[in-house]
Structure 1
Amino acid sequence: MSESMSVSERVSEGKIAWITGASSGIGRAVALRLARDGFRVAVSARSTDKLDELVAEMPDRLFAFPLDVTDLAASKAVVEAIRSTLGPIDLAIFSAGSYKRDSVRRFDSTALSDTMNLNVVGTAHTLEAVMPDMIARRSGEICVVASVAGYVGLPGGGFYGATKAALNNLCEALYPELEREGVRLRVINPGFVDTPLTKKNDFPMPFLISVEEAAEAIVNGLKTSRYEIIFPWKMALAIKLLHALPRRMQFALTRKMLRKR
């Protein structure tokens, strides 16, 4: 078997996937898509009821492992439970996270800390839990779901964007080391996706796509050798152009995103 072959190209071999944040949104859609493609998928989230509803859709392919990723010991225990129940994890997709609008008039450092703890530290917990076995086997694939919001600071999204910028930076730092250890790492940077989190937004969301379209983009990305899976392409192009602009021009555009007082 070729070492360059991606996990999703070896579906027929009965590979095991683990997805966090699987009770809703992108995580849920990707879990269903991978299960339909032949994976046995361990799904984790804090909501046991929603996990049970998900598993009921494909009980022979989906398996619930409830988890609060902010608990390191629990994250390690879940990885061990998956390994003993289903087998070694071949593909891990970490999509657990949350989002809440922020404002300088309601600046709340505790809210920032909570968001960092879930989005960044929680992801670090699952990385710490899954990497040792993959490194020991010199096999496996890890995908961290960040966001295009990590490219540019946008008004009202400072806390969320900061966590996604941190994840992008963390993955860039880990990539060369994991590559040397035989483990593939990717970062997934979605634009606006129609999920329970984005339904909170009260502003226009350009190039909004469905969770099914997001899952399709992710699975297609897994079939490539790309480090970054970013979509939809129009949003990717727009955010990268905004990121490349001189600060004066960048701020001229982001000022237009300010809410009216």
Structure 2
Amino acid sequence: MTKIAWITGSSTGIGRALAERLLRDGYRIAVSARSVDALASLSTSHPGKVGVYPLDVTDPAAVKQAFAAIESEMGPVDLAVFAAGSYTRDYADDFDSARTRQMFELNVLGTASCLETVMPAMIARRRGHIAVVASVSGYVGLPGAATYGATKAALNVMCEALYPELERHGVKMTIINPGFVDTPLTKKNDFPMPFLVSSEEAADTIARGLAKGKFEIIFPWKMALAIRFLHALPHALRFALTRKMLRPKGS
């Protein structure tokens, strides 16, 4: 029986590449994002295998309507991947709480709306798999990523807390922590991005990890090793390293 996957944030980047990868693996895919044209092009490329469900995940009612439509039209969702999110750098001298609120609305509360909608259905069926895309930025505070890192840390804690409960109900939970991935968002960066991988490489790694039922998928391995090492350091040593990441004065 063909499995059904629902991927939010699937118009570009990791979400789009993962949709393409899972289609090759034999899934039928429900794709959601705010960009209707990008979703339509994916559907056109894979006739009969892709259902298009435009969605703004910050609208809880719309999330519920989209999920109900997917399950009615395509069947029960076996795998839900919540990849919708945004990224804006922020610094102490231009910190803006409105920008913080906006990023939390999308990255955290939008994901929470998706979880609120999907978990009861999977728990009732006693099967299913939920994956949330976070970031290695959630491991440690890095200059320029005060808000973004905080949203991804929140997702990591949320998934870690939900994991044992969902497991008891027969539902799998996975947190995905990528390093730098070549996407439209990271193309805006004006600083070196070590161990950068393509969206296709990221999708392949994620698909393999999901197939194995891993709780955490963190990649690339060099970035995973570096960020875990940084996280394990005492604050004095950690700050000695993160000071080297500061913007040049006046920039």
Q: Tell me whether the two structures share a fold, i.e. TM-score over 0.5.
A: yes
TM-score, normalised to structure 2, is 0.98
Is 2:20 aligned against 1:32?
A: yes
Is 2:228 aligned against 1:249?
A: no
- The equivalences for 1:95-106 within 5 A come to 95-106=83-94
> Matches of 2:192 and 2:2 in 1, distance apart?
42
Counterpart of 1:8 in structure 2 is: none
Counterpart of 2:9 in structure 1 is: 21
> Matches of 1:85 and 1:172 in 2, distance apart?
32
Runs of 4+ in 1 over 3 A off after TM superposition: none
SS in 2 for 1:84: helix
Question: How many angstroms does 1:58 deviate by?
Answer: 0.9
Structure 1: unaligned runs, 5 residues or longer = 1-12
> Matches of 1:16 and 1:169 in 2, distance apart?
27
Whether the aligned pair in 1 keeps the contact of 2:172 and 2:213 (CA below 8 Å) is no
SS in 2 for 1:17: strand
Structure 2: unaligned runs, 5 residues or longer = none
Query: Once the two structures are superposed, what CA deviation does each residue of 1:15-42 show, in whole Å capped at 9, x if it has no partner?
Result: 0000000000000000011011110000
Q: Which amino acid aligns with 2:7?
A: I
Is 2:219 aligned against 1:231?
A: yes
Counterpart of 1:3 in structure 2 is: none
- The equivalences for 1:193-232 within 5 A come to 193-232=181-220
Counterpart of 2:30 in structure 1 is: 42
Counterpart of 1:4 in structure 2 is: none
Question: How many aligned residue pairs are there?
Answer: 249
Whether the aligned pair in 1 keeps the contact of 2:43 and 2:52 (CA below 8 Å) is yes
Equivalent of residue 165 in structure 1, options 153, 160, 174: 153
Counterpart of 2:57 in structure 1 is: 69
Whether the aligned pair in 1 keeps the contact of 2:135 and 2:176 (CA below 8 Å) is yes
Counterpart of 1:55 in structure 2 is: 43
Counterpart of 2:120 in structure 1 is: 132
Equivalent of residue 167 in structure 2, options 179, 187, 190: 179
TM-score, normalised to structure 1, is 0.94
Question: How many angstroms does 1:129 deviate by?
Answer: 0.9
**What is the RMSD of the two structures over their aligned residues, measured on CA atoms?**
0.7
> Matches of 1:16 and 1:150 in 2, distance apart?
29
SS in 2 for 1:77: helix
Q: Percent of counterpart pairs with the same letter?
A: 65
Counterpart of 1:150 in structure 2 is: 138
> Matches of 2:213 and 2:11 in 1, distance apart?
28
Whether the aligned pair in 1 keeps the contact of 2:108 and 2:154 (CA below 8 Å) is yes
Question: How many angstroms does 1:63 deviate by?
Answer: 1.3
Query: Once the two structures are superposed, what CA deviation does each residue of 1:87-144 show, in whole Å capped at 9, x if it has no partner?
Result: 0000000000000010111110000000000000000001111111100000000000
